[in-house]
Structure 1
């Protein structure tokens, strides 16, 4: 079943508002265009009416030439024809070849004359008829030229409004983006409440709900952590007593039962190591106390970790050492860095066959200090790599372990906002490259 496509809320808002603005702009532009054409037509009609009235009232009709030169008048100009009751032909005309309809009613008329459309205003007065006409084509050109000018503001403003919409929506959602980044930064050791300051009213109930969920989740995780810690503490004492009793009992075990008794002792020791790992995990998951942080020399931590496992490595013929040690420091609890590194080194020793090699190195890059542990073990199936930091997960059930070592590493790294990763070697040899990174300090 295909998953529904997740679309950006910002893009949806911007698109919807831009479409709305565009529709309003088009409607407004068309309306302005039509109104402008109508207004221009009315203005041209007024011009015809005023021209006719003035010709009659001021006697200018008498001053028109009786026989004007034919075809001398520009076609964009108006045509004037004056009729008198006792004369069949035009008394005065600026274009005698144009036969305007003398019997037209007073007022405006649009009709065809001489094969083209004319707009004619007829003024009927006692003894005289004054007609003023203009080509409809010329009127249309004039009206269209003026009306198009009204579209320019819309053509310019609509893109500007699009830009304004984009900026306004981006600014309005900037707070949500910051909240998203804040939520993404939250992990099991940092349950920080989201601030509702400056959050839109519609989003505030959602933020409050998230905060309540965080509160319940923090309580649940704290309860789980406390249970693990308490259980480990409670189990450690009887297991220690059981180990002492077993050690005291060993001389009294019959020779034939020594092998089975050693298995019992081994099981007790495994249980003790598991409880110790559970305690470390509970401490790694606990909230960080700022007053415990110090400037930690990473090189010293690496040297101490190597020295701790060196006897085991020598016994199995494993070559362990450091090939590159950059001077670097981090601000942390030194014990935490040591536990994380020792878990990585212990894993490398456990999975590296006798006679193999384990190399440690320290690099400083991009403001972080990286500690790498490279072994020559069998590596891990690529399909299992995403699960290596899960609690109680073991990539190889044939090798003894609790499945908590890498979980403790991940918890410590998360505690300091660092990073941890595990990958197979890509240099032609089998093995694992395990690395942890923390923010560097001067």
Structure 2
């Protein structure tokens, strides 16, 4: 079954053109044969008329037998008082004298002949032509009428393909626009130049995009408002806990530390929710700047370096190509910090984390490679889902990679995560931005 609309249209139109071409060709063929037959009959009738006007005596009285070519017509003239023909271009051919006036098809000497008989008071004029010769002439002329159709039908096929492809080019552009729609790009489809039949469909898609954008914006606003509202009481709670610490009995210090750790985790989750809300926000083009990517990477490493040194993790740089992107520097910094923080969190003590900045295929790629345990292959498609944690034994909010993905999509970039395949365990986390240099 043909799934493509373009293929269906091309196939249907080509079949229709082919059917019309065949019908037209057969019709032209038959009409040509009929016309040629009528023309040959007219020729026999005209020759007979000439013989009636006195040309009969110009024929030889005793022509050479069998000297006439097969393709020529045969003329026989009878006088009423003679048993044998008065004149004949082929004496060996005995045309039926009793044939009725007008046209008749008779078998003579084992061949089929087309005979025209013109009767006068004192004579009968018969003009005959072999039916085989007539058929051959008619076939030859009729076949020639098929050549234009044989040439035109394939040309029409090509024209149909080009016209359909051109007509659907707008749909292809609309399809590309639809594929580019995500949570950070809700641009409605253009209806300029769209065929009238497709306009309702495009309007429905635009209405759906508008509703989806409103829904996502409501969700984003709720997350942002909730995070802001929760941050204030958590901050106050943190201050109260700090003030209360000197008054906690020694036996309750462990429980108090767990309480403070819970407050800290909640504060971290609130901060991640705020970052996620900012990452999902619509991009304002007037805020874009030329960001020095290696400098952002160095700053991100400097922030996590104390934690890495405390655990003996070696952070190094494989390659730091000079690269720039058009973005908000804070967004790029958050994405890189989240990747590096994840790498340090999942890398065991005395492990290694390597960073690199490369330019590939017009994209600036930031790769973070660790020596952690890696991730099960069946879980890799879910690592960018919000609140998903591949390893629940390690502390985290499950939002870090979601923020990275949101920031990458916001700038038309790509975020990916894969296991290492160089003989060592670990993860290669990458984020790519369109080059702005």
Same fold (TM > 0.5) = yes
Tell me which residue corresponds to 2:375. 380
1: distance between equivalents of 2:290 and 2:64? 107
Tell me which residue corresponds to 1:36. 32
Tell me which residue corresponds to 1:61. 56
SS, match of residue 435 in structure 2 = strand
Q: Does 1:287 align with 2:299?
A: no
Give 1:291 shift. 2.0
The partner residue of 1:94 within 76, 89, 98 is 89
Q: Residues 329 and 147 of structure 1: is their aligned pair in 2 closer, same or farther, counting only changes over 3 Å?
A: same
Give 1:277 shift. 0.3
Q: Does 1:46 align with 2:48?
A: no
Tell me which residue corresponds to 2:309. 314
Structure 1 runs not aligned, ≥5 long:
none
Give 1:439 shift. 1.2
SS, match of residue 441 in structure 1 = coil
1:144-181 Cα shifts (integer Å, max 9, x gaps): 00111100110111111111111111111111111110
Tell me which residue corresponds to 1:70. 65
Counterparts in 2 of 1:78-89, with a 5 A limit?
78-89=73-84
The partner residue of 2:238 within 231, 240, 243 is 243
**Aligned-residue CA RMSD (Å):** 0.8
Tell me which residue corresponds to 1:352. 347
Contact 2:364/2:435 (<8 A) preserved: yes
Tell me which residue corresponds to 2:215. 220
- Count of residue correspondences: 437
Between stretches 28-37 and 236-245, larger displacement belongs to: 236-245
Give 1:6 shift. 6.7
1:9-33 Cα shifts (integer Å, max 9, x gaps): 1111011000000000000000000
TM-score w.r.t. the length of structure 2 is: 0.99
Tell me which residue corresponds to 1:116. 111
Tell me which residue corresponds to 2:225. 230
The partner residue of 1:335 within 314, 330, 349 is 330
SS, match of residue 70 in structure 2 = coil
2: distance between equivalents of 1:153 and 1:38? 19
1:216-261 Cα shifts (integer Å, max 9, x gaps): 0000000000000000000011111111111221222222222122
Q: Residues 215 and 322 of structure 1: is their aligned pair in 2 closer, same or farther, counting only changes over 3 Å?
A: same
Tell me which residue corresponds to 1:25. 21
The partner residue of 1:13 within 9, 12, 19 is 9
1:252-303 Cα shifts (integer Å, max 9, x gaps): 2222222122111111111110010000000100011222211111010011
Tell me which residue corresponds to 2:146. 151
Give 1:365 shift. 1.8
2: distance between equivalents of 1:126 and 1:16? 65
Contact 2:2/2:8 (<8 A) preserved: no
Contact 1:306/1:321 (<8 A) preserved: no
Q: Does 1:423 align with 2:418?
A: yes
1: distance between equivalents of 2:91 and 2:287? 110
Structure 2 runs not aligned, ≥5 long:
none
Tell me which residue corresponds to 1:260. 255
Tell me which residue corresponds to 2:183. 188
Which structure 1 residue ranges, 4+ long, deviate > 2 Å from structure 2?
Answer: none
Give 1:440 shift. 1.2
